[in-house]
Structure 1
């Protein structure tokens, strides 16, 4: 009996690992970026990833036709650019290959299949304890890199459980080829809802897109230049609201009055709205022309799902073969990070951009800026510099003690 207890204690010790550098939770673009920036400062790190690959959102939860919505120069990570031969808007496969090359270039080797069950700071030891199903890891620093899009948002729609056809989130949608000649209800009108509707349309399906709230739709390019590039240039010289007015003026000129199509614009301008709420304007890649042609039908909010279709708030009722939820993603940080009030109940840092990258007691966050990969790059550099300064002091003290 005593020997068995001793064996269990030895196993517990084997499962406890002290990490000299920071622990990074998440091996998506954010986790890879901060690991690379730390490496530039000669600071080691350990990445814990719940899936079996890097960039799992891109590899496992995106549809086939996905491309970057912004030009590649706004989406590359620190210290390594996209290859010159990549197109202006890289495809899903190209972005994944870039991520894989990035990890290889910086010799980043995450520990896969290590979902974090709990992470908490211990004030007695001054260390973070990070628990997975296999290990207890300890470190002075914890970097949360799970991002804004960790879990699919599944809305509660009355009656959806009794629908006779398939109901799926866009996280498992791959191609419209599976829905040929079907009547498909697409719930959501953001970039994903628009693109999935367009993809369905091109595979001879009959998509109906639910538009419950107002939405900004902008052309992906203005005068041959990306809309995002134009906005970033103008913001350097003009007040934000004036830039918004310019974008809407050009959008109305090139796309027409979207209100007539059932796509009401918010009263707040597109950039101001994104900065305040994180709601991204839709960059049109062809869906609007299909809406104008009547191939993608816009419908109002869903009141109730029936066995054969849906009832809408305007009183109409229609039959559908499938339902696709283009309802986005959310952070999962509150489910595993404990003992800190740095994050809100929604799993976002409380300090607004650009100050949401650093908490207390060695806690950091990367990829929660609501500003895409540009924000991720900024966070990664700031975090790496801050930790590197501490790393040098700690190692200097250690060397002094060794000399005594």
Structure 2
């Protein structure tokens, strides 16, 4: 049996909830299909010390300010999960979980969404599955020969799991710096980056990053000179734990090693370091489940897929809206997507 609705939103994290909020305001019939067993999206899988880059008031979805966390300027992941859970219930969003979407295909005037618990026919689909579910690992010689432990950011939880070990953290972005700072006190840490780490000024947080990303998008849309956006400011937000480890001299990055051996990392000059664990903080790739184009990429105009006007992609970073992979940034593209869908269905 196939159920029908105006819109199916795939993914019940922050992007899916923001889409649901705007679809509800426009009076559309919709469902949100979420593969997770509970609310909170990817935030429920972050490491124990993970914190937002911005104060709560500047980390909110549309229609509901995030309340501050007592004693914390930058809320932790558990606080974000609680906020998203409350948001979902407060706005009475029709989230079905756990429902895993397998495929989306064209079916005449409908889009057919096949799941592990039945099928839906929709007049439009919003893909909001995010990036957390598709970790990226670089191809480094010797990865298969290394006999120690290897894990990605997505698998890291606590420094207690690595106490006393010789650990290499790979990556010069925010996750690499935060996890390196987390491990700096009770492991023999080596932090390696492909280029010298670029810390943003200490007074810059997510508020400034969102404004910078928005200004860049506006400049490009108006044909003006590219401002460089967030990348022009640096790569690492100096949240308090990172700042403290950096200022204590515990975050000294080394160049990227050339290869792994069975028990060591080896640099191109022949230097070797015995290690127990490698943590790859090397990012994620977008994971849309819908109507993929060549090499998995879907060309978009804003959030709308160029080749399929009934399909919108939301929350995959600048590809689908300035800072749209952030709490503060996803509201505007979610609103625009909902308005375009409403106009199409009319």
* TM-score > 0.5, shorter chain as reference: yes
Which structure: larger Rg? 1
Tell me the TM-score normalised to structure 2 length.
0.84
Q: Which protein is richer in helix relative to its size?
A: 1
Tell me the residue number matched to 2:97.
112
Tell me the residue number matched to 2:48.
64
User: Residue 20 of structure 2: SS of its match in structure 1?
Assistant: helix
Question: Higher mean Cα deviation, 26-35 or 295-304?
Answer: 295-304
Tell me the residue number matched to 1:383.
337
- Pairwise CA distance, 1:367: 1.1
Q: How does 1:334-373 map to 2 (within 5 A)?
A: 336-338=289-291, 341=293, 345=295, 347=297, 349-351=299-301, 355-357=302-304, 359=306, 360-370=308-318, 371=323, 372-373=326-327
- Pairwise CA distance, 1:313: 2.7
Tell me the residue number matched to 2:28.
43
Kindly indicate whether the alpha-carbon contact (under 8 Å) linking 1:217 and 1:283 is maintained by their aligned counterparts in 2: yes
Q: Give the unaligned 5+ runs of structure 2.
A: 220-225
Question: Residues 67 and 84 from structure 1, CA distance in 2 versus in 1: closer, same or farther, beyond 3 angstroms?
Answer: closer
Distance 2:128 2:210 in 1: 27
Tell me the TM-score normalised to structure 1 length.
0.73
Kindly indicate whether the alpha-carbon contact (under 8 Å) linking 1:331 and 1:346 is maintained by their aligned counterparts in 2: no
Give CA-to-partner distance per residue, 1:327-352, whole Å, 9 cap, x none.
Answer: 1111122xx322x64xx73546444x
Tell me the residue number matched to 2:223.
none
Give CA-to-partner distance per residue, 1:144-164, whole Å, 9 cap, x none.
Answer: 111244311122222122222
Tell me the residue number matched to 1:282.
236
Question: Residues 48 and 234 from structure 1, CA distance in 2 versus in 1: closer, same or farther, beyond 3 angstroms?
Answer: closer
Q: How does 1:1-400 map to 2 (within 5 A)?
A: 14=1, 16-18=2-4, 20-60=5-45, 62-84=46-68, 87-122=72-107, 125-202=108-185, 204-213=186-195, 215-221=197-203, 226=205, 228-229=207-208, 232=211, 271=229, 273=231, 281-285=235-239, 286-287=241-242, 290-291=245-246, 293-333=248-288, 336-338=289-291, 341=293, 345=295, 347=297, 349-351=299-301, 355-357=302-304, 359=306, 360-370=308-318, 371=323, 372-391=326-345, 393=346
Distance 1:293 1:316 in 2: 26
Question: Residues 280 and 293 from structure 1, CA distance in 2 versus in 1: closer, same or farther, beyond 3 angstroms?
Answer: closer
Kindly indicate whether the alpha-carbon contact (under 8 Å) linking 2:183 and 2:189 is maintained by their aligned counterparts in 1: yes
- Pairwise CA distance, 1:50: 2.0
Q: CA RMSD in A?
A: 2.9
Q: Which protein is richer in strand relative to its size?
A: 2
Question: Residues 64 and 85 from structure 1, CA distance in 2 versus in 1: closer, same or farther, beyond 3 angstroms?
Answer: closer
User: Residue 192 of structure 1: SS of its match in structure 2?
Assistant: helix
- Pairwise CA distance, 1:137: 1.4
- Pairwise CA distance, 1:326: 0.7
User: Residue 375 of structure 1: SS of its match in structure 2?
Assistant: coil
Tell me the residue number matched to 1:258.
none
Give CA-to-partner distance per residue, 1:57-107, whole Å, 9 cap, x none.
Answer: 1102x1111110123333210111112566432111111100000011012
